Amino acid sequence: MTIVFFYPSKNIGGVQTLFLRLGEALKDSFDIVYVDVENGFYSNSGVQSFARIVKYEGQFDSSEYSDPVIVTPPSEIIKAKNYFSGNEKVFFWHVHPYNTISTFPGFNFFNKLSKRTIKLLVKTLLLSQHRSLKKTFGKALDANALMFMDGTNKDSFHYFFDKCDSAGLLPIPVECSATFEKSQCPNRPEKEILVWVGRVEHFKSPILDYILNKFLVSSLDKNHEFHIVGDGQDLERFKSMYSHNTSIKFIGSLQPAELQQLLESDIKLSFCMGTSALECAKAGIPSVLVDAFYTAVPDNYKFKWLYESKNFSLGEVLSSKPVDNECGRELHALLEEVENNDNFVAKQCFDYVAQNHNIEVVKKRLVNGLRNSNLYIEDIGRIESTMIYRLYGCLRDRAQILTKK
């Protein structure tokens, strides 16, 4: 069996890191292939030592590989159908609550609406595409070709498509040592460091803005620094808003080895969602799990530790409505808890990752999922477009032409 990871991109993100990690973990048992764009993430990550890179152009030649199975998020379904020849098996891994909804035209405009409004929109104005996707992913469920990274993803899919009761959970994995060891930094910094690890764009920007405001309002900048590790479309905007404060530092995007080195330094607290939360926790850092927002974060939003998560959740998509999280904590309460018992919080986060996200366990479940999948690219029906979809495409193409002039 040849495992083909399909998520061509130049960015460093959760899915890219996930597929990179799994390829390394499975390389001794299977042939590994990454489909990548020119000068993309995988091409620059050294995977050539254990995997083959195929350029994302033209059409994939499956005759060169033994029993190819494609692993991809549902968001890539249209790209995958157009790129692969048809006789390849496919396995969808739902790794973001809006993975399927993001395939709809205009998603970047309506994602700021409430889930209820989005559901109404896609089941009326975008009805034909909704029906096509519902039918296709219904086939995937029947063919054991769709699994979800956590309960949040599964619930979101069920909300928009009214199905998925039989689908299983396949949590995001990380390599994790058997025993907890908190890194000891011989040269402690003058100010204690809080860190954000993740992109600075889209659904991550509102919560980062909320955290930074809490940091400044609480006057924590007198004794602490806040380091932002990541890149993205909103980075320059954040720099213009916060660079005047010398306690907020922008580190930029780091390669996996550089990130690991940073996490092994003396960090007091981390704020992350997704894979980044696992990376920080396994490094022995007390890890705050934050949620995704496409709109402003409500004033009553409070924080929770990673180990308090349910059903493998690595962050929910919430709206600007007041949040019911009475069990959450304010920023100063998090720091007090760490000050009083640093090792306890760090070990709780570490143990949660080791018990629920160990790559040795997850990779076996993934391989079983790939072998049990009975869905082929040719089984994916035509994703119907609507008049609105075609109009959106024309307007987008026209805007691109005017931009180039």
Tell me, yes or no, whether 156 and 60 share the same domain.
yes
Amino acid in position 226: F
- Which pLDDT score, from 0 to 100, does residue 163 have? 74
- Which pLDDT score, from 0 to 100, does residue 280 have? 95
Amino acid in position 297: V
Tell me, yes or no, whether 221 and 324 share the same domain.
yes
Residue 343 phi, psi (nearest 5): -65, -35
What are 362's strand-pairing partners?
Answer: none
Q: Per-residue confidence at 71, pLDDT binned at 50, 70, 90? A: very high
- Which pLDDT score, from 0 to 100, does residue 265 have? 84
> Distance between CA 3 and CA 30 in Å, rounded?
7
Least confident range from 133-142, 148-157, 187-196: namely 187-196
In a domain, 202, yes or no: yes
Residues near 146 by Cβ (< 8 Å), separated by ≥ 6? 74, 91, 92, 94, 137, 140, 164, 167
Domain count, the chain: 2
Tell me, yes or no, whether 153 and 205 share the same domain.
no
- Which pLDDT score, from 0 to 100, does residue 356 have? 94
Q: Which tens digits make up the pLDDT trace of 123-146?
A: 998 888 899 999 999 999 999 999
| Contact indicator for 261, 283 with CB cutoff of 8 Å | no
Tell me, yes or no, whether 247 and 210 share the same domain.
yes
pLDDT for residue 203 is more than 80: yes
Tell me, yes or no, whether 301 and 400 share the same domain.
no
pLDDT for residue 391 is more than 60: no
Q: Per-residue confidence at 104, pLDDT binned at 50, 70, 90? A: confident
Tell me, yes or no, whether 352 and 382 share the same domain.
no
Angle between helix axes 115-122 and 151-161 (nearest 10 degrees) is: 40
Q: Per-residue confidence at 222, pLDDT binned at 50, 70, 90? A: confident
Q: Locate tokens 């080895």: which residue? A: 257
pLDDT for residue 387 is more than 70: no
Q: Of 65, 75, 67, which Cα lies nearest the Cα of 95?
A: 75
In a domain, 184, yes or no: no
Task: Kindly state the percentage of the chain with pLDDT values over 70.
Answer: 91
The mean pLDDT value for 298-320 works out to 92
Tell me, yes or no, whether 370 and 351 share the same domain.
no
CATH number of the domain that residue 237 is part of? 3.40.50.2000
Task: Kindly state the percentage of the chain with pLDDT values over 90.
Answer: 67
Q: Which tens digits make up the pLDDT trace of 224-282?
A: 999 999 999 999 999 999 989 999 999 999 887 888 888 888 899 999 999 999 999 99
pLDDT for residue 403 is more than 60: no
State which of 186-195, 259-268, 281-290, 394-403 shows the largest mean pLDDT: 281-290
| Contact indicator for 296, 206 with CB cutoff of 8 Å | yes
First vs last C-alpha separation in the chain: 48
The mean pLDDT value for 343-366 works out to 94
Tell me, yes or no, whether 77 and 151 share the same domain.
yes
Residues near 232 by Cβ (< 8 Å), separated by ≥ 6? 199, 200, 201, 202, 204, 205
Q: Which value, in Å, is the radius of gyration of the alpha carbons in the chain?
A: 22
In a domain, 182, yes or no: no
Tell me, yes or no, whether 283 and 321 share the same domain.
yes
Residue 298's Cβ-side half-sphere holds a number of Cα atoms within 13 Å equal to 14
User: Which DSSP letter does residue 16 get?
Assistant: H
- Which pLDDT score, from 0 to 100, does residue 393 have? 53
The mean pLDDT value for 380-388 works out to 63
| Contact indicator for 32, 51 with CB cutoff of 8 Å | yes
The mean pLDDT value for 330-338 works out to 92
Tell me, yes or no, whether 236 and 302 share the same domain.
yes
Please give the residue range of the domain that contains residue 230.
Answer: 192-357
Least confident range from 55-59, 196-200, 243-247, 400-404: namely 400-404
- Which pLDDT score, from 0 to 100, does residue 224 have? 93
pLDDT for residue 70 is more than 60: yes
Q: For the chain, what is the mean pLDDT?
A: 89
Least confident range from 26-40, 97-111, 282-296, 331-345: namely 97-111
pLDDT for residue 400 is more than 70: no
Residues near 279 by Cβ (< 8 Å), separated by ≥ 6? 174, 197, 259, 260, 263, 272
Count, residues in the chain? 405
Q: Give the count of beta carbons closer than 10 Å to the beta carbon of residue 42.
A: 25
The mean pLDDT value for 319-338 works out to 84
pLDDT for residue 50 is more than 80: yes
In a domain, 346, yes or no: yes
In a domain, 180, yes or no: no
| Contact indicator for 55, 74 with CB cutoff of 8 Å | no
In a domain, 238, yes or no: yes
Q: Of 267, 341, 270, which Cα lies nearest the Cα of 305?
A: 270
pLDDT for residue 11 is more than 70: yes
In a domain, 186, yes or no: no
- Which pLDDT score, from 0 to 100, does residue 187 have? 55
Residues near 104 by Cβ (< 8 Å), separated by ≥ 6? 110, 122, 126, 129, 130
| Contact indicator for 78, 95 with CB cutoff of 8 Å | no
In a domain, 179, yes or no: no
CATH number of the domain that residue 398 is part of? 3.40.50
Tell me, yes or no, whether 32 and 160 share the same domain.
yes
Q: Per-residue confidence at 108, pLDDT binned at 50, 70, 90? A: confident
Tell me, yes or no, whether 347 and 378 share the same domain.
no
> Distance between CA 142 and CA 373 in Å, rounded?
9
Q: Give the count of beta carbons closer than 10 Å to the beta carbon of residue 222.
A: 8
Domain end marker among 334, 357, 380: 357
Q: Of 315, 200, 214, 183, which Cα lies nearest the Cα of 253?
A: 200
Could you give the angle at the alpha carbon of 200 between the alpha carbons of 316 and 339, nearest 5°?
Answer: 70
Domain end marker among 341, 357, 373: 357
Least confident range from 34-38, 71-75, 162-166, 174-178: namely 162-166
Q: Per-residue confidence at 182, pLDDT binned at 50, 70, 90? A: low
Q: Which strands form 224-229's sheet, in the order they lie side by side?
A: 248-252, 224-229, 192-197, 269-272, 287-289, 304-305
> Distance between CA 63 and CA 33 in Å, rounded?
14
Amino acid in position 348: Q
